[in-house]
Amino acid sequence: MFHCPIQIIQRSQGKSAVAAAAYRSGEKLVNEWDGLTHDYTRKGGVVHTEIMLPSHAPPEFQDRSTLWNSVEQIEKSSDAQLAREIEVALPVELSRAEQLALVRSFVKDNFVDAGMCADFAIHDKGTGNPHAHIMLTIRPIREDGKWGAKCRKVYDLDSQGQRIPDGKGGWKSHREDTTDWNQRGNAEKWRVAWAAYTNRALEAAGRPEHIDHRSYKRQGVDKIPTVHMGPAASQMERRGIVTDKGNINREIAADNKLLKEIKARITRLYNWSREQSTQPQGRESIMDFLFQAKQDTAPTSRYGKVKALQADAKLFNFLMENGIKSMPELFDKVAAMNSDYYDLRGKIVSKERRISALTERLEMWAQYQKYKPVRQKLDKVAPGKREQFEQRHSADLALFDAAVRYLDTLKASGEAITPKVWRAEAQMRSMREDIKAVEILKKTAERLAREGQTQRREEQER
């Protein structure tokens, strides 16, 4: 599975580079910027950690605490961007040595060679979800080993190459980044690179699997993407415990199967009706045409006559309801069904993604509720015992803070925090109108397909 999210670790979101490095490496680190200790030495599943540096970086940056505390100290603002993190899913088909070699080559060629310091950790709890966290410095390092500036002031010039007055006694100017690391196109470039490096590693290992960084839509694949399960849900599913995410993915798999079948049927009907509409008899009344065809192949048994009568009644109702009187009109109807298929598919995709978003919101709300009492206890702890309490409950407090940041982001975007509404909307997935429309379309396609097969047999017998 391709999984390569990219995020910025920044103070404005209550995060620190030291805390992030401690968690990902499973170490105990002290953040000298705010004095907080982050102890994750009891964290399981950290199977490898490593720091990779460009040639001109200070050798002491090989120490994790020195590297990230240096980053924290050089950044003075309360909303500073401290580090970039890229998380990648590692192929389970590769051995640990092959996974490590894959991450090293990807990090060296794409980041270290460009001048970034990289700190990566491979996590694997044996639950089938091995992955790597890659932390990268954002501020460049000068050739003398000192931190450089992230951006520089550039004066605006007129057509004559002269500075432009700003009307306040100064000159108009703008800021430019000193590196190209923050360019928008980098996310796509790095995702493409990860897919390419992974596929080369799989091929070298003699494996037939491959990954693609593009969405199904960009690949031209008529398929709804599944939601990311995550380690907890994946492990529960393997134990036979049904999860919401597992149910969503099973629904998506059923939708994909149904959509594939419908498209195949509509395509056959489209081709047949187009061919029939161009024939001379296609301009005649479709009722006269069908009546003559039935006369030529009329059943003789009582059972056969009853079945034929039922089929004729269903087809007659369909034709009347849609105002179809000739083969060209039937072709137009099937062509419209073909167009509606793509609209329907898009609606289902958006609905599945909405369900995924609702599930995530409910999970974060539950996380907020679960660890809120721990935070409330912290507020009541005496100042002298506060640090000890924070260290003892660091994991719970980190999960609470993460939930708070998630919910605050929702509120900042104008989204109301309404868990009851979220639950009600998520439970409505069994009543989706989209699926009802697909089922109606499927029944119609099957009915027309049977008529098409009868028509072709009759033509062959003539």
Q: Distance of CA 129 to CAs 20, 89, 91, 125, 228, Å?
A: 20, 7, 9, 8, 11
Q: Is the pLDDT of residue 308 over 60?
A: no
Amino acid at 186: N
pLDDT > 60? residue 43: yes
Specify whether the backbone of 206 is left (phi greater than 0), alpha (psi in -120 to 50) or beta.
left
312 and 294 Cβ atoms separated by less than 8 Å: yes
CA 279 to chain CA mean position, Å = 48
Strand residues in 40-127 grouped as ranges (E): 46-52, 81-89, 118-123
Q: Once rounded to an integer, what is the mean pLDDT over residues 286-291?
A: 53
At residue 439, the pLDDT reads: 40
| 22 and 14 Cβ atoms separated by less than 8 Å | no
pLDDT (tens digit per residue) in 323-382: 666 667 766 766 776 666 656 555 555 554 555 566 677 788 888 889 899 888 888 888
Mean pLDDT, all residues of the chain: 76
Condensed to tens digits (0 to 9), the pLDDT of residues 51-90 reads: 999 999 999 999 999 999 999 999 988 888 999 999 998 9
Are 371 and 397 in contact, with CB atoms under 8 Å apart?
Answer: yes
